[in-house]
A and B are shown apart, each in its own frame.
Chain A
C-alpha cells in the first residue's frame, strides 16, 4: 500500500478545506455611534489581527465575554496589536442604550450597530455571542459560537499563533 500517496491525499484534502474556511467580511453597512455609516468590508487594523464580536445589551454571556476580554484588553493590545470590534445587534428597542451602556462598562472597543441584523445574517450567525477572528489580510480565520469563562484565553492563544505566522486549523 502506497502510504506516500495516502499522505499526499490527506494533505491535499486538508489544504482544500483550509481554502474553504477562508473568507472576507461581506460588504454590508454598519452604523457607528455618531450615526455614520461604514462599510463592514473596510474594517481593518493595519495588518494586525482583529476580533469581531456580535453582542447585545440584553445578552448576558455576551457582556460576560466582553468584560472578560476588557480585563486583559490593554495587555492584549500592547502585546499583539489586536483590535476588538463589538457589533451590537440591539434593535431600536435598545440601540439607544448602547452608548451609555458601553461608557458605563468602561469598554474601550470600537462599537457598531447592526440594527436589523444584516451583517449578522450575511455572516450566517445563528445565536449570539458569536466571535470571529480576522487575520491581518482581512481573512476570517476562525469563529466561535457561545461563550464560556476561559474562552478568551483560547482566543488569545490563537491571536498569538496568527502573529507567529502559523496556520489556524480549527
Chain B
C-alpha cells in the first residue's frame, strides 16, 4: 500500500514540478464539443421519412488542441462524424485530423504552415473561415506569411489548397494583400484615421472540358478604403474577377464585379448606418464544380439583419450566387430616462430596413444541345448595375427595448418581410424566369414580445411570445417559450410552436420541445426532447435548411 502511495506521490510531485516549470514546457489548451441525436419516426411532420435516418442515432463532435510556447503555436483538430446529423452536409463522414498547423510569430513576422483561416478586407475576394453549426469549413492548407514592413504597412502572402470534408480541393489558391494604416504609420492614435488596402487572389484548376475552353487561372483583385473621423466611419471596397465559367454561374464567361460599402454615424444616444451592396457574378470557388458551401474562396456580406427569434428566423436571407444588389439603413436611438418614451429607465428603439434585388440584366443566349436557348458559353448578360425586376427580399423591423421596473425587462419587436421563396429556398435562377409574377412571394408580418423577470437573486424567468402571420407558404405560426434559469448552473425550458395556419389541415400541428441545461465551470450539458420544425438555419450570410425532426438530442461542450 505504502509503495503504491509512494509511487503516486512521486508521480504527482513530478507532475506538479513540471507544471511549476511550465514556462519551459509551454501550455496546452483546447475545447471539445459533441452533439448526438436519437431520432423518432414521426409520420405527421415527416410522412416520407426523409429526416428519419437508418442509423437512428447520429453523433458528431470535435476536439481542438492548441499548444503554445513563446513565439510558437501549434494546434490540431480531431473531428468525428458517426454519421453527421440530419441537415448538415453528409460529406462529413468518419473521423480524422483535417486541421493542424504550426505558427511562428516574432516581432513583425508571422508565419503559418499547415491549416489557417484568413480574410482580406471585408472578404469580397478572400475569406476562409469555419462555422461548425453550418458544417462550413473552407480552411486553407498551405503556407501563410504576414509581415509588417514598417509600422502601418502590413503585407500578407499565402498559397495552398482548401479543405473539402476530409480532403483538399483540386484548385491551388494564391493570394497577397497590402494594407496601409495612416495612424500606425504616423505612430499616433488619433480618432481620425485612413486605412487603404489592396489584395489579389488567383486560383489554378486544370481544364479538360470537351466543350468550352475554360480558363485555368482565374484572378480576383480588390481595392478598399476606410475613413474614420470621430463619429463618422466610411468603408468601401470594389472587387473585380476575371472570366470564371463555373457550375454556379452556369458557365458564363462574363467577368465579375462587386461593391460593398457602408457609412455610419454614432454619437451620444444615436447610431445610424447606411449600406450598399452590388454583387455581379462574384461567387468564387477553388473548383469550378462544387455545391453549397464547398470550397468557397470569398465571402459576400449579405447586408441584411440576422434574426435570431425562432419564427422570424424562418425567413432568413441568404446571398444569391448569380448576383444581387441591395441596401440597408438602420437607426438606433436610446431615449433617456425621464423622457416620455424613455420612461423611468430609458428605452432603446431600433429601426432596420434592407432589401435585395436581382440585377437588371439583359440576357445573351445561344441554342443549347436540345435547342433551348441557354446563357452557358456566352457572356451571360449585359448589366446596368440597377435593381432588376425580381425582388429577392425586403425586411423592415422595429425593436423596442425597455426596463419596466426593477425586476422586469422587455423587448418588443415587429417584422415585415417580403420573401422570394422561389429564389431563396427553391433555387430558381433569374435567367430562367420569363415572368417575375410566377415566382412565389411570401408576405410576412411578425411580432415578438420577450419578457425577462428577475424573480430573486440568481432565479429568473424568460418568456417569448411570437406570432407570425402569412397567407402564403406554410401559413401562420404562434410560439410560446418559457425558460427558467438558476444561475450559474441550471436552466429548464419548454417551448411550443404551433403552425395553426398551415394550408393543409393535417399539418396544423404543434411542435413541442423541452430542454434543460447544466453548466459546471466551462463544461455545459444540454438535453432537448421534442419536435423541431423545418427551418432555415443561418450564420453569417450562409444558410442551410434543417428538416423537421422528432427525437432526443444532447450537446456537451467544454474547454480547458
Q: Give A residues with C-beta under 8 Å from B.
A: 1-2, 5-6, 8-9, 12-13, 15-16, 19-20, 22-23, 26-27, 33-37, 58-60, 64, 91-94, 96-97, 99-106, 115-118, 121-127, 143-146, 148-151, 153-154, 170
Contacts and interface: CB of A to CB of B under 8 A. Distances in A.
B379 interface: no
A116 B332 contact: no
Interface of B: 1-2, 5, 8-9, 12-13, 15-16, 19-20, 22, 27, 29-31, 33, 64, 66, 68, 71, 73, 105, 117-119, 121-123, 127, 129, 132, 154, 181, 183-184, 189-191, 193, 195, 226, 228, 233, 235, 260, 262, 264-273, 275, 299, 301-303, 305-306, 308, 330, 332-334, 346, 348, 350, 452, 454, 457-460, 462, 485-488, 491, 517, 519, 521-522, 524, 540-541, 557, 559-560
Given A146-B519, A151-B487, A96 B235 contact: yes
B271 A100 contact: yes
A12 B519 CA distance: 26
A100 B265 contact: yes
Nearest to A19: B19
Contact of B485 (A96, A125, A145, A150): A150
B348 A150 contact: no
Contact of B181 (A6, A37, A105, A116): A37
Nearest to B274: A96
B189 A36 contact: yes
B308 A16 contact: no
A127 B557 contact: yes
A19 B22 contact: yes
B340 to A, nearest CB: 18
A103 B454 contact: no
A144 B457 CA distance: 19
Given A103-B266, A145-B524, A151-B488, A91 B299 contact: yes
A153 B8 CA distance: 40
A153 B487 CA distance: 9
Contacts of A151: 487-488
Given A34-B193, A37-B184, A99-B271, 17 more contacts: A2-B5, A5-B5, A9-B8, A12-B9, A19-B16, A19-B20, A27-B105, A36-B189, A58-B305, A122-B73, A144-B519, A144-B522, A145-B557, A148-B491, A149-B462, A153-B458, A154-B487
Contacts of A1: 1
Contact of B233 (A5, A15, A99): A99
A24 to B, nearest CB: 8
Contacts of A12: 9, 12-13, 16
A61 B454 CA distance: 15
Contacts, number: 200
A122 B560 CA distance: 12
B183 A105 contact: no
Contact of A16 (B16, B154, B228, B521): B16
B538 to A, nearest CB: 10
Contacts of A26: 68, 73
Q: Which of A20, A26, A123, A148 has the most CB of B within 10 A?
A: A148
B175 to A, nearest CB: 14
Given A23-B27, A60-B308, A91-B123, A36 B184 contact: yes
A33 to B, nearest CB: 8
A65 to B, nearest CB: 11
Nearest to A28: B105
B193 A35 contact: yes
Nearest to B191: A34
B457 A150 contact: yes
Nearest to A149: B460
A151 B460 CA distance: 11
A30 B249 CA distance: 36
B348 A104 contact: yes
A118 to B, nearest CB: 7
13 contacts: A5-B5, A12-B9, A15-B16, A16-B15, A19-B16, A33-B228, A35-B181, A36-B193, A64-B452, A100-B272, A127-B557, A145-B524, A148-B491
B487 A116 contact: no
Contacts of B302: 93
B407 to A, nearest CB: 10
B123 A97 contact: no
A17 to B, nearest CB: 8
Contacts of B299: 91-92
Contacts of A22: 22
Nearest to B541: A93
A36 B301 contact: no
A60 B481 CA distance: 15
A4 to B, nearest CB: 11
A145 B559 contact: yes
Nearest to A39: B105
Contact of A124 (B19, B262, B559): B559
A37 B265 CA distance: 21
Contact of B264 (A20, A99, A116): A99
Contacts of A36: 181, 183-184, 189, 193
A5 B64 CA distance: 36
A96 B262 contact: yes
Nearest to B65: A124
Nearest to A57: B306
Given A23-B27, A144-B522, A91 B301 contact: yes
B334 A104 contact: yes
Contacts of B64: 124
A37 B217 CA distance: 34
Which A-B residue pairs are the 3 nearest by beta carbons? A100-B271, A150-B487, A104-B332
A148 B460 contact: yes
B421 to A, nearest CB: 22
A37 to B, nearest CB: 7
B271 A92 contact: no
A149 B334 contact: no
A153 B457 CA distance: 8
B540 A91 contact: yes
Nearest to B303: A93
Contact of A8 (B9, B195, B334, B540): B9
A124 B66 contact: yes
Contact of A92 (B15, B301, B560): B301
A93 B540 contact: yes
Nearest to B268: A103
A150 B14 CA distance: 41
Contacts of B195: 35
B486 to A, nearest CB: 8
A92 B452 contact: no
